[in-house]
Chain A
Amino acid sequence: MSGEVFSALRQALHEEEAVVCATVIRGEPLGAKLLVFEHGRTVGSLGSEELEAAVLSDAERLLQSGEAETRTYRLSDGREVEVFLEAHLPPRHLVVIGAVHIAIPLVAMAKELGYRTTVIDARAFFATRERFPHADHLIVAWPDEALTQIKITPQTDIVILAHDEKFEDPALHVALRSRAGYIGAIGSRKTSQQRVDRLRRAGFTDEDLRRIHAPIGIDIGAKTPQEIALSILAEIIAVRRGRYSPQPRPAKSSVAVISGKGS
């Protein structure tokens, strides 16, 4: 790797700028590299304008998906060149609205998974460093105000644990107007339905409302805060990787029939 390319790659990783690194792994010039940034800016060279143009269009797709792939390109002179393309996207950002009990293991586990984390709550005694030693940012403010301070991108996942419509509705209004990659909100099926009704009255469409994952988390029978955190993170990963499919949830309780003599 040339010094110029490697230092540009290091800088992109440090500054959390999205970049795709393309490397010739078979054919000539073996080992040549091109970095592709957003808006088509490039650093380096693959030795052929024709090849670079083809790689550029694949790289732009990978800047969105964050994936890696190896592709074979056949050039007009008949040569075949194999190129490995790898996206380096900024770390995903988990934004938790509601510094409640479940938020504590959620933020700790998300940190372990490599997320940047932000916890937002209007109540200063909830959003404390003592409760959230792992959080990258703690913001004491109303959720909608706090969300406008954050850059929400498709790499941002918003989890609403506030459990109170005066906190969660304003947050959902901002979240639904953003490009967030995941939006989830805690609450039973009944609360979730009431929330959907309120948002629909506020003017959100069915398409908007389908973005909200509620009841939040995949159904693993979670009971403890740690288990619920795990089910939420599992759902976020499934959505990210295109493996999400909503599961029907069995009703929690049914009437037990006791056989015996009638009175």
Chain B
Amino acid sequence: MRDILPEIERWISEGEEIALATVVRTIGSSPRPLGAKMAVTRSGRMAGSVSGGCVEGAVFEVALEVLETGQPRLVRYGISDEQAWDVGLSCGGTIDVFVEPLVRKA
């Protein structure tokens, strides 16, 4: 959180809507530890990382959806995922990512 706080605060001052994604479970090997975070704005800006590049694209889409609905979501990514070729983790592990709205306009 500390590492992406400066970006988040800058975005808040610019009036952005922001979703926050956090790695909440890792099974097997994973590129980023528990608590690794990525923030996404509705306008398409990104900071931080949840997997070192493997699933950020998919998390980005979920983040936009969460900002749209206002409902948090828990999403699992792994090599056994049916979308493995698109968003699988190359290291063969599985991660759960919690995506929640951080700043959202009513």
Is A88 among interface residues, defined by CB-CB distance under 8 A? yes
Q: Return chain B residues, CB-CB under 8 Å to A10.
A: 5, 9
Structural contact, A1 and B24, CB atoms closer than 8 A: no
Interface residues of B in 83-99 (CB under 8 A from A): 96, 98
Structural contact, A30 and B71, CB atoms closer than 8 A: yes
Docked complex Cα distance between A67 and B26 (Å): 14
- The interface bits of chain B over 33-68 (1 if a CB of A lies within 8 angstroms of the residue's CB, else 0) are 111000000000000000000000000000000000
CB < 8 Å: which of B35, B96, B102 contacts A68? Answer: B35
Structural contact, A84 and B98, CB atoms closer than 8 A: yes
Structural contact, A1 and B5, CB atoms closer than 8 A: no
Docked complex Cα distance between A1 and B37 (Å): 15
Q: Return chain B residues, CB-CB under 8 Å to A67.
A: 34
Docked complex Cα distance between A86 and B20 (Å): 14
* B35 smallest CB distance to A (angstroms): 4
Given A6-B102, A70-B25, A84-B22: A30 in contact with B72 (beta carbons within 8 A): yes
Q: Is the interface of B mostly helix, strand, loop or mixed?
A: strand
Question: In chain B, what residue has the closest Cβ to A88?
Answer: B1
Is A100 among interface residues, defined by CB-CB distance under 8 A? no
Given A1-B100, A1-B101, A25-B74: A9 in contact with B1 (beta carbons within 8 A): yes
Structural contact, B24 and A70, CB atoms closer than 8 A: yes
Query: Count of A residues near B, CB < 8 Å?
Result: 18
A-B contact count (CB 8 A): 46
Is B10 among interface residues, defined by CB-CB distance under 8 A? no
Docked complex Cα distance between A241 and B93 (Å): 22
Could you say which interface size class chain B belongs to?
20 to 34
Interface residues of A in 1-52 (CB under 8 A from B): 1, 6, 9-10, 13, 23, 25-26, 30-31
Is A164 among interface residues, defined by CB-CB distance under 8 A? no
* A151 smallest CB distance to B (angstroms): 19
Structural contact, A13 and B2, CB atoms closer than 8 A: yes
Q: Return chain A residues, CB-CB under 8 Å to B72.
A: 25, 30-31
Docked complex Cα distance between A184 and B9 (Å): 38
Given A1-B20, A86-B34: A13 in contact with B1 (beta carbons within 8 A): yes
Q: List 21 A-B contacts (CB under 8 A).
A: A6-B102, A10-B5, A13-B1, A13-B2, A23-B22, A23-B98, A23-B100, A25-B72, A31-B71, A31-B72, A67-B34, A68-B35, A69-B34, A70-B25, A70-B96, A84-B22, A84-B24, A84-B98, A88-B1, A88-B2, A91-B2
Binding site for B on A (CB under 8 A): 1, 6, 9-10, 13, 23, 25-26, 30-31, 67-70, 84, 86, 88, 91
Binding site for A on B (CB under 8 A): 1-2, 5, 9, 20, 22, 24-25, 33-35, 71-72, 74, 96, 98, 100-103
Known: A25-B24, A84-B98. 15 other contacts (CB 8 A): A6-B103, A9-B1, A10-B5, A13-B2, A23-B100, A25-B74, A25-B96, A25-B98, A68-B34, A69-B34, A70-B25, A70-B34, A86-B22, A88-B2, A91-B2
